[in-house]
Amino acid sequence: MGQARVRFPVRWEDGGVLVVQVVGRFDADAAAELGALMGRLDATGQSGLVVDFQDAEHCGAEGARQFVEAGLEMVAGGGALAVVADAAEQAVLRAAGADRLPLGVHDDVAAALEEVSDRSTDTLGDRDAGAGSGSALR
């Protein structure tokens, strides 16, 4: 494990979509940490999530694979997940299977937010909408 730590700053966007930014080196350890965060969010009823890799210093193949698996679990549970990445990270994420995520990989946050917002209003109304209100992430 290198000295550079990964951070996951979060922010809410209009429509109740949470954006999680990946800042730092994204490896298998970071993927496990992000997967746990995604699991906690899903357990609160948070259904709309964008994960932004644009500030990742490096996206490792094993970390990408673990992230895609966590994303597929979230989607299978009724969540909406879109990914944002630059060209280098997109290649690694796609090789790890990110194209299997229904909302896919995007070049910018605005496009990802639109996809998640559309999906959330179209198909996620059955989830407990109040469950995620006021939840602390850490």
Q: Is the pLDDT of residue 132 over 50?
A: no
H or E stretch covering 86: none
CA distance 90 to 125: 30
| C-alpha to C-alpha distances, 44 to 33, 41, 99, nearest whole angstrom | 17, 5, 26
Task: Select the more confidently predicted residue: 18 or 134.
Answer: 18
Instruction: Give the model's pLDDT for residue 135.
Output: 31
- Its pTM stands at 0.83
Longest dimension (CA), the chain: 43
Instruction: Give the model's pLDDT for residue 51.
Output: 97
Q: What b/e sequence results for 37-57 when a residue is b if at least 16 CB atoms lie within 10 Å of its CB, and e otherwise? A: bbeebbebbbbbbbbbbeebe
